[in-house]
Structures are given as structure tokens and as C-alpha cells.
């Protein structure tokens, strides 16, 4: 037997027991004639005493098996910071099972090491207690999700991993077929079409932990490969999906974090959250809502405001609490931040002695300054920041600035989890580059009843039975009630510029399935990695994934992607066209940036 107990298992009641432990020697505290070792495994740490005869065998981070006696520590030597802090093991014999090279970094929680190094040596990074705890929590959350769905009679069903390439918004990862020359599979961006066919197939309630693949640039909350908690329900309405998802969330927060959520979650329309918070995934843990200032400054005499309003621009603002002391340099830093969202700048007013101050005040009438002050409802010591421009740019810029300021000013309370549903998304949005209408989410979402008859007339006004689940400013999931009528589906495809012939070619298998009496159905796809990250109150999704890709799309632990052998290329009838050196260098530079 290689071990009788784990390193985190022993307690005071084990005193006097003979035990066998196996683990890594994480640290050695040498006291000349004896030494203390922290022996560790996934389950925790245990202090082990070595006398001067056994001490010479000690090697840091070696994996060892030892036998010894559990001894209760004297009260003054108890370590309250360790689960096993009331005991130590007196080692009687030890065997080194495996030796370690010098580590590239220390395996403690607080380490100063580049993320690239951690990802390259991910197998070592996982030994750190922090990473073990995060992956353990991920497993517990997955178990609670399964428990909740099974309580509601959902079936866990696996959908295909090799699928037909279809346009779903991002580039597909494609897989060449060796057997079928010149043809390709794709790795699924989501199980969307296949879960809909499960409903037509009569499975009624489905879920799975689906691996989804998207060939796109990596960012903080997105990986080339991510795990999605995928859900679909037949004979359902929007509220039925909400109640099912709320039961899942209530279960996992209670079982894993011992947090009791209030349900049902509040519901807001897309138009409302955009007007109040500027973005469609608002963080509701703090205020600082957007203020519509257009009417207040419409007759201000300030040329910037009046000309902008004549041109149909939007003027909105936010109040940064306690920031009236900001210097011009600090305001410029805020302006630089919103430039990335195409905003041109900010108009700043300081609030002092119950009135607005600042250079813009000199260009405005007293009446309009007072109107703006009353509209802002700001307090002495606050800073009012106005943004002027196109509606979508103003909303996005102020929405992102709101989140930025909340972090900078420590306005976000710890330990709070604020869920909400955002409903009634537009079904279509205008793509200026393509000069055509395109689905805001995807083309399989059902228009709201009042738009079904003539949605082609004013596509920009059409609302869909589309909804997002948001937690603390993170979009956890997106879903909809699906189109289950082939005639409506063809109309939507036609509106976004897809001919009937092209629709049949790309989606014929789904359209054909519709011909066999599809029940009304809907569902949602929830980002499992995002959920774990948000529950653990982390900022980087790579911290909750065992084997994530780096920011440049490389998997550093195995060096992929890599070239393949010529024989493999020949079998697949493929030829690699070399890039020109300058182009390749530019791409590498872009990846690094």
C-alpha cells in the first residue's frame, strides 16, 4: 500500500497511529540535527519530522513514500492556518519514488512568474494549492449542475464533434477527411443545430457539457476551446427556460458556495439596460447609471452641444463619485481609455458648493448649467463626465467607463452575486461593411409574436425571443426560443441575404427535419468556464481551465500547433503553402501584442 492516508487528512484523533503517506516534499526547514518537511498532495499539507539519520535523504519536490507515527503537537506549536496543524508525523522510514529537477518557479500561491512560464509548465503550476482549489471547485460546480438537471428530468446527451461547416459568426476549425478526398469536417462552434434536432427527435429536455471550438483571437474571457453548459427544452416558453436555469444556479451556489440566491432573477429589456448602463451585460452591484443630458443642454449656447444635437447625436454622462479633485491629466487618462471605443473625448464638470464648475460652464447659459446640475443629481466632490457622439458609441464608451471607474474607485462590493435576465434583443443588426442585415445572435431565434407577420418591412425594429443571463457584468449565457416553422426560418434566411438554394445547401438537414412536426422549443448555452471564473471572483479565464491556450493561441504545454509529417499531408491530399517571411513576421508581432 503506497498510502494509508492523504496529506490533508490527519487530525488530532489520529495521534498514536502508524501511517503511510505519499507526496511531494514542498519545503524543508533544516534545524541542524533534525528537519521539518511540508509533505503535500492534492488534499493538503502535513508536517513531518525527520531525525538526523533520515534528514540527508531529503530532496526538495521529490515524490516520496514515508512511514511514521502521528503525534499531537503541544498546544503552543499548533498551527491554526493548517488543517493538519494539530499534529505532525514522526518519520521512521522513507523511500524516494521519483526525483525532481530544479523547478522553473516555486510552487507557492504568491509567485512572481510570467504567465507564459506557468502555461509551459502547467503540470507544475497545477501542484500549487491555489490551482488545485480552483480545479476542485470546477469539478464540484459541474457535479452540482448535473444534480440540478437530473432533478428536473433532463437527459445528458452528447452531440457530434465532427460536424458540417456552417456559418455561426466565427471561423470554423476544419478537419480534412482522409477517406473522402477534398471534403472537410468542422469542429462545432456550438451544438445549436443538433440540440434542436434532439427536440424534434422527442428527447424533450437535454443538457450536456459541450466542448466548443472557435478559430478566433483569444481574449480574457474567451478561449479557442471552451466548455458550454448547453440546454434545450421542448414544448417550452421563455419563462420555462428561466425557471430551469435559475434552479441550476440556485443549486450550485447553495451546494458549492453556501450562498442562497433569490429567485426569480430580475428581468430587464435590452433597450432598458442599454439606456441605463450603456452595455447589454451590466454589473448591477453598483450604481453610476448613465444620464441623458441632451434636453438639459439643448439650449445651452455651447456650440459643441447644440451642433451635436442638431446632427442627431446623443449626449449622455455619468457621475464619478468623489472625483472632483481629478486633475486634467487624470481626466485625459479617462479619455484615452474610451478612445478604444471610438469616443472622441469627455466634457468634465466638477461639483462644488452645490453647483457645476469647469471651463465648459463659461460657454453655457446659467439656466442650462442649473438644469444639467439638477439632471445629474450629483453631490459636492463628484465629477460629471459627458460624452457626445453617435448613440452606439456613446453608450458603449460610457458603459465601459462605468465599469472601469467602479474598479478604480473600489465601488464593487466583494461577495455579492447579482444575476439578471436581459430580454427582447433585436433580431437583426445592420452590417455596414457587408451593407446588409445580419442576425444579432443567430438566425434560428423566433421573432416576438407582434413582429412575425411583417418583420421584413422594418428589420431594425424587430425584437426576438432572445435573452441573456448576466452575472456581475459577465454574460454567462445566451439563448432563445427557436424558430420551429420552416416558412419563418426561410424568411429570416432570405432577409439576411441567404438564398433558398444556399440555405438548403448549408442547413438542409435542419430544414428537412422541420418537416416532421417540430415541437416549440428553446434553450440556452452557458459558458461553464466563465461561470467558474465569476463564482471564484477571478479576472482571467485561464485560471480555471486545466490546459488553456496562451493569448497568442498557442498551447505552450505541448507546443501546438505544430507542422505535421509529409506522409500525413500526402494521405490527406494537402499541400502547405509557405507564407512570405515579412507577412509571417508581422503576424508573429501581432500575436505578441
pLDDT given at position 578: 85
Q: What is the band of 590 on the pLDDT scale with cuts at 50, 70, 90?
A: very low
Which cell numbers in the block locate residue 491? Answer: 424568411
168 is in an annotated binding site: yes
Q: What is the CATH number of domain 286-412?
A: 3.30.1360.30
Residues 374-414 pLDDT 10s: 999 999 999 999 999 999 999 999 999 999 999 999 999 99
Bridge partner list, 404: none
The DSSP string of 69-130 is EEEEPPGGG--TTSTTTTEEEEEEEEEEEE--PPPSS--SSS----HHHHHHTHHHHTTSHH
Question: Are 12-98 and 132-268+420-543 equal in CATH topology?
Answer: no
Confidence of residue 580 (pLDDT cuts 50, 70, 90): confident
pLDDT at 218: 60
* Residue-averaged pLDDT of the chain: 94
More confident: 591 or 31: 31
Residues 172-198 pLDDT 10s: 999 999 999 999 999 999 999 999 999
pLDDT at 587: 52
User: Is the model's pLDDT at 167 over the cut of 70?
Assistant: no
Q: Is 475 annotated as a binding residue?
A: yes
Q: Give tens-digit pLDDT for 473-495.
A: 999 999 999 999 989 999 999 99
Looking at 80-84, 97-101, 167-171, 305-309, which range is the least confident one? 167-171
What are the phi and psi torsion angles at 94 (to 5°)? -145, 145
Measured distance CA(337)–CA(385) in Å, rounded: 13
Q: What percent of the chain has pLDDT over 70?
A: 96
For residue 492 the three cell numbers come to 429570416
**Cβ-contact 394, 384 below 8 angstroms:** no
Q: Is 65 labelled a binding residue?
A: no
Instruction: Give me the mean pLDDT over the 521-540 stretch.
Output: 96
Place of cell 459627458: 386
Q: Judge whether 504 is annotated as a binding position.
A: no
Architecture of the domain defined by 132-268+420-543: 2-Layer Sandwich (3.30)
Domain boundaries, the chain: 12-98, 132-268+420-543, 286-412
Q: Is 337 strand, coil or helix?
A: helix
- Going by C-beta distance under 8 Å and a sequence separation of 6 or more, which residues neighbour residue 211? 161, 225, 226, 227, 228
12-98 CATH pick, 3.40.50.150, 2.40.50.140, 3.40.50.720, 3.40.50.2000: 2.40.50.140
- Whether residue 482 is annotated as binding a ligand: the answer is yes
Predicted local confidence at residue 591, as pLDDT: 44
pLDDT band at 110 (very low <50, low <70, confident <90, very high): confident
* Residue 214 counted as an annotated binding residue: yes
pLDDT at 258 over 50: yes
Task: Tell me the pLDDT band of 33, cut-offs 50, 70 and 90.
Answer: very high
Amino acid at each position: 500500500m503506497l498510502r494509508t492516508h492523504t496529506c490533508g487528512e490527519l487530525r488530532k484523533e489520529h495521534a498514536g497511529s502508524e501511517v503511510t503517506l505519499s507526496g511531494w516534499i514542498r519545503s524543508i526547514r533544516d534545524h541542524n540535527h533534525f528537519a521539518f518537511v511540508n509533505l503535500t498532495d492534492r488534499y493538503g499539507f502535513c508536517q513531518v519530522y525527520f531525525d538526523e539519520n533520515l534528514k540527508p535523504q531529503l530532496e526538495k519536490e521529490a515524490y516520496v513514500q514515508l512511514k511514521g507515527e502521528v503525534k499531537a503537537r503541544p498546544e503552543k506549536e499548533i498551527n491554526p492556518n493548517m488543517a493538519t496543524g494539530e499534529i505532525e508525523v514522526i518519520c521512521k522510514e522513507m523511500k524516494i519514488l521519483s526525483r525532481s529537477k530544479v523547478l522553473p518557479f516555486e510552487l507557492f500561491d504568491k509567485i512572481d512568474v510570467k504567465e507564459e512560464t506557468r502555461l509551459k509548465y502547467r503540470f507544475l503550476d497545477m501542484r500549487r494549492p491555489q490551482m488545485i482549489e480552483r480545479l476542485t471547485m470546477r469539478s464540484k460546480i459541474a457535479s452540482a449542475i448535473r444534480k440540478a438537471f437530473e432533478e428536473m428530468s433532463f437527459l445528458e446527451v452528447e452531440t457530434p464533434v465532427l460536424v458540417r461547416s456552417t456559418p455561426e459568426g466565427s471561423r470554423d476549425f476544419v478537419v480534412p477527411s482522409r477517406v473522402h478526398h477534398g471534403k472537410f469536417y468542422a469542429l462545432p462552434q456550438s451544438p445549436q443545430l443538433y440540440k434542436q434536432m434532439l427536440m424534434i427527435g422527442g428527447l424533450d429536455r437535454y443538457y450536456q457539457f459541450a466542448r466548443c471550438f472557435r478559430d478566433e483571437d483569444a481574449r480574457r474571457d474567451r478561449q479557442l476551446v471552451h466548455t458550454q453548459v448547453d440546454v434545450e427544452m421542448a414544448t417550452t416558453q421563455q419563462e420555462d427556460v428561466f425557471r430551469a436555469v435559475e434552479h441550476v444556479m440556485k443549486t450550485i451556489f447553495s451546494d458549492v458556495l453556501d450562498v442562497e440566491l433569490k429567485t426569480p432573477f430580475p428581468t430587464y429589456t435590452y433597450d432598458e439596460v442599454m439606456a441605463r448602463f450603456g452595455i447589454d451585460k451590466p454589473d448591477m452591484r453598483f450604481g453610476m447609471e448613465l444620464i441623458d443630458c441632451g434636453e438639459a443642454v439643448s439650449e445651452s449656447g455651447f456650440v459643441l452641444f447644440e451642433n451635436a444635437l442638431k446632427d442627431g447625436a446623443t449626449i449622455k454622462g455619468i457621475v464619478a463619485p468623489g472625483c472632483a479633485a481629478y486633475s486634467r491629466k487624470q481626466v485625459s487618462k479617462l479619455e484615452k481609455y474610451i478612445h478604444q471605443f471610438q469616443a472622441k473625448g469627455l466634457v468634465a464638470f466638477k461639483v462644488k458648493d452645490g453647483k457645476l464648475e469647469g471651463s465648459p460652464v463659461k460657454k453655457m447659459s446659467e439656466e442650462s448649467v442649473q438644469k444639467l446640475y439638477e439632471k445629474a443629481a450629483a453631490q459636492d466632490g463628484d465629477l460629471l463626465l459627458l460624452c457626445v457622439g453617435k448613440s452606439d458609441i456613446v453608450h458603449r464608451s460610457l458603459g465601459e467607463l462605468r465599469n472601469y471607474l467602479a474598479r478604480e474607485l473600489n465601488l464593487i462590493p466583494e461577495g455579492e452575486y447579482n444575476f439578471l435576465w436581459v430580454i427582447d434583443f433585436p433580431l437583426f443588426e445592420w452590417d455596414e461593411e457587408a451593407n446588409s442585415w445580419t442576425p444579432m445572435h443567430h438566425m434560428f431565434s423566433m421573432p416576438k409574436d407582434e413582429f412575425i407577420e411583417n418583420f421584413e418591412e422594418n428589420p431594425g425594429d424587430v425584437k426576438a425571443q432572445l435573452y441573456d443571463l448576466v452575472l456581475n457584468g459577465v454574460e454567462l449565457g445566451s439563448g432563445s426560443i427557436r424558430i420551429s416553422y420552416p416558412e419563418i426560418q426561410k424568411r429570416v434566411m432570405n432577409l439576411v441575404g441567404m438564398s433558398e438554394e444556399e440555405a438548403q445547401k448549408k442547413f438542409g438537414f435542419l430544414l428537412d427535419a422541420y418537416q416532421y412536426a417540430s415541437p416549440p422549443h428553446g434553450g440556452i448555452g452557458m459558458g461553464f468556464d466563465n461561470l467558474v471564473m465569476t463564482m471564484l471572483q477571478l479576472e482571467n479565464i485561464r485560471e480555471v481551465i486545466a490546459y488553456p491556450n496562451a493569448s497568442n493561441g498557442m498551447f505552450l504545454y505541448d507546443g501546438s500547433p505544430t507542422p505535421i509529417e509529409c506522409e500525413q499531408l500526402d494521405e490527406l491530399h494537402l499541400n502547405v503553402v509557405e507564407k512570405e517571411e515579412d507577412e509571417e513576421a508581422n503576424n508573429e508581432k501581432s500575436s505578441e501584442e
